[in-house]
Chain A
Amino acid sequence: MLRAVALGCALLALVPVAAATLPPGFAPPVIPADNPQTPAKIALGQQLFFEGRLAADGKLACAGCHLPALAYSDGRSTPRGATGQVLPRNAPSLANVAWLPALGWASRTTVTLEQQMLVPLFGQHPVEMGMSGRESQVLSMLRSDAGYVQAFAQAFAGQDQSITLDNMVRAIAAFERTLVSGRSGFDRYVFDDDRSGMSDTARRGMALFYSPRTQCGECHSGINFSGPVRSVGHEEVTPVFGRSAIASADSGLMQESGAATDRGVFRVPSLRNVALTAPYMHDGSLPSLQAVIEFYDGGGHQRPVRPLGLSRSEKADIAAFLHSLTDAAFAAAP
């Protein structure tokens, strides 16, 4: 008990998104013991996140597919990688990734940001940033840049050679853990008792969203509307995966597990800031929230989504609720 409390305090002391600054309802996220949060590391991670020279084309930064103004999504159905390859899946928002129990669209085994980052940086099928085979070139670039030399030295003080790929990944992960979004109109209404946070329409939409009739909140549960989240004291949670209602050639989770039952199964995405993250679904095939609501109202392309029979005004209510999940300050942050 004492150890848990002490650990919690230690985490809070190191995480700039500390309890005092976490939005109401958010428990402290789990931080890997070998990658504690420090201001210097986070600052370096932010710089690297926006660094185009990491990619094969010298231009495509992480931020190229995760734009802050779009809640760290990119506004396209599917992004294009640094070598020009069109990627098969939509770029997901990074809001509150620190709390996700599984990362990526279709992986149960990718459970830390440090693991996940290897996919866009070094993945070859498909090529995203295309760093594989260019590792020494990237390291040389960083080591010849006085700003990075100083930033790495500060972030990883005490290491003889602080500019390493591992440290680069650690720094970006530390930055991503600071992408906290929990001050939407919904949050102000639910946690601050501020009725101006949600209109009557949005409140009706919330009731529908969480109702047995639509069951939206069954999968989009938790503080991140993506299923249970990992936090201090709640480390062992099961991420929610669902069979996509979209007809698609993408085999989804089956690619990782090999199990036929996982064909077309994807992780349930967060709905925070969802009004900013169009287009939707794992393949970006639905262009607007209206289209998503119509899609589910009609029962989707395939089981098990059943037609909902929503009236026009009920659809508007749900749309208003989804808009209330926008955290304007988060999207406006530099």
Chain B
Amino acid sequence: MNRLPSIICTTAVTAALLLSAAPARAVPDGPIADAKPVTAVAPEGAMAARLAYNVGYEVFEKTQLEEAASVGLTGAKAKAAQAKMLAGYREARERFDAAAKADPSVKEAWNLVGYTNRRLGDYEASLAAYEKALAINPTYSEAIEYRGEAYLALNRVDDAKTAYMTLFAGSRAHAAILLSAMRTWVIERRARPAGLAKADVDALAQWIEERASVAQQTASLSPDVVVVRRWD
């Protein structure tokens, strides 16, 4: 589902299929509709982009599975798994980058250029790629969430909070993922402050709990939640 469709189809529908392909996602899309109409792309560029994206996605998916399987490893095994993971993300980044360059209108490719750069520790390149994805569709929930995580890595807490609030209004599922990442950030910064004041970390921790409470209380405001109760 996350892959772009087979290249065995006419070039006339290539662009449409490419642009309608679902992005890599951790959760289903939220209720936000695309804000901008789909623009036409050159068939050659679209074809090249799709090919690069699909190959990259295969590597990306494999790397994610391997990363998940490596949780709990220690010592040399952990080190080897880490090296393999980085190599996987490097290769995937190369492919997604090629896809984005072949067809700059593919927000999914930019989004995964951002993701792989973030996982490889290049946060500035990551942010630049998310900007490209969000310039195509400012309500692209997955990119907003990923960018929020990049902000956290850079200790840009206010920007991460803004990202959360944007997601809260449009995609509760993505907002919950970012809130979870914030909790992890708090745990990590309490263990290794990296120059941050304890009070700042505590303030975010308090904010997280308040927002989690608001999210839990107001879950039914989201159109995805259907509450039907009849008094009989």
Pair from one complex: yes
Question: CA of A207 to CA of B222 in the docked complex: distance in angstroms?
Answer: 17
Contacting pair A1 B20 (CB below 8 A): yes
Contacting pair B38 A2 (CB below 8 A): yes
**Distance between A226 CB and nearest chain B CB, rounded to angstroms:** 11
Contact residues in B for A2 (Cβ distance below 8 Å): 16, 19-20, 38
Of B28-36, B44-52, B144-152, the one with at least 4 CB within 8 A of chain A: B28-36
Contacting pair B165 A27 (CB below 8 A): no
Contacting pair B217 A240 (CB below 8 A): no
Contact residues in B for A52 (Cβ distance below 8 Å): none
Question: CA of A265 to CA of B228 in the docked complex: distance in angstroms?
Answer: 15
- Interface residues of chain A, those whose CB is within 8 Å of chain B, are 1-2, 4-6, 8-9, 12, 19, 24-25, 27-28, 189-193, 206-207, 209-210, 217-219, 221-223, 227-229, 231-234, 237-238, 240-243, 261, 265, 303-305
**Distance between A182 CB and nearest chain B CB, rounded to angstroms:** 10
Contact residues in A for B161 (Cβ distance below 8 Å): 193
Contact residues in B for A219 (Cβ distance below 8 Å): 229, 231
Question: CA of A241 to CA of B169 in the docked complex: distance in angstroms?
Answer: 27
Chain B, interface residues (CB within 8 Å), range: 20 to 34
Contact residues in B for A8 (Cβ distance below 8 Å): 33-34
Contact residues in B for A5 (Cβ distance below 8 Å): 33-34, 38
**Distance between A334 CB and nearest chain B CB, rounded to angstroms:** 28
Given A25-B221, A206-B217, residue A243 in contact with residue B231 (CB < 8 A):
yes
Contact residues in A for B165 (Cβ distance below 8 Å): 191-193
Scoring B residues 163 to 204 as 1 if CB is less than 8 Å from chain A, else 0, what string do you get?
A: 001001100000000000000000000000000000000000
What does DSSP make chain B's interface, helix, strand, loop or mixed? Answer: loop
Taking a contact as CB atoms closer than 8 A, the residue among A4, A25, A207, A228 that contacts B217 in the complex is A207
- Interface residues of chain B, those whose CB is within 8 Å of chain A, are 16, 19-20, 22, 31-38, 161, 165, 168-169, 211, 213-214, 217-218, 220-232
Contacting pair A9 B34 (CB below 8 A): yes
Given A217-B220, A218-B229, A231-B223, residue A28 in contact with residue B33 (CB < 8 A):
yes
Taking a contact as CB atoms closer than 8 A, the residue among A4, A24, A228 that contacts B223 in the complex is A228
**Distance between B174 CB and nearest chain A CB, rounded to angstroms:** 14
Identify the interface centre among A228, A243, A303: most chain B CB within 10 Å of its CB.
A228
Taking a contact as CB atoms closer than 8 A, the residue among B22, B31, B38, B213 that contacts A234 in the complex is B31
Q: Which residue of A lies closest to B137 (CB)?
A: A5
Contact residues in A for B221 (Cβ distance below 8 Å): 25, 190, 221-223
Contact residues in B for A234 (Cβ distance below 8 Å): 31, 223-224
Contacting pair B229 A24 (CB below 8 A): no
Contact residues in B for A25 (Cβ distance below 8 Å): 169, 221-222
| Nearest 4 CB-CB pairings of A with B | A221-B220, A24-B169, A8-B33, A210-B217
Contact residues in A for B226 (Cβ distance below 8 Å): 228, 237-238
Contact residues in A for B169 (Cβ distance below 8 Å): 24-25, 191
Contact residues in B for A221 (Cβ distance below 8 Å): 220-221, 225, 227
Contacting pair A9 B33 (CB below 8 A): yes
Q: Which residue of B lies closest to A195 (CB)?
A: B210
Contact residues in A for B38 (Cβ distance below 8 Å): 2, 5-6
Contacting pair B227 A227 (CB below 8 A): yes
Taking a contact as CB atoms closer than 8 A, the residue among B16, B31, B37 that contacts A9 in the complex is B37
4 new A-B contacts, CB < 8 A, other than A1-B20, A191-B169, A241-B230, are A8-B34, A189-B214, A228-B226, A240-B228
Taking a contact as CB atoms closer than 8 A, the residue among B19, B33, B223 that contacts A229 in the complex is B223
Q: Which residue of B lies closest to A261 (CB)?
A: B232
A/B interface sample: 29 pairs, CB < 8 A: A1-B22, A2-B19, A2-B38, A4-B33, A6-B38, A9-B36, A12-B33, A27-B31, A27-B32, A190-B214, A190-B218, A206-B217, A207-B213, A210-B220, A217-B217, A217-B220, A218-B229, A221-B227, A223-B221, A227-B227, A231-B31, A232-B33, A233-B33, A234-B31, A234-B224, A240-B230, A242-B229, A242-B231, A243-B231
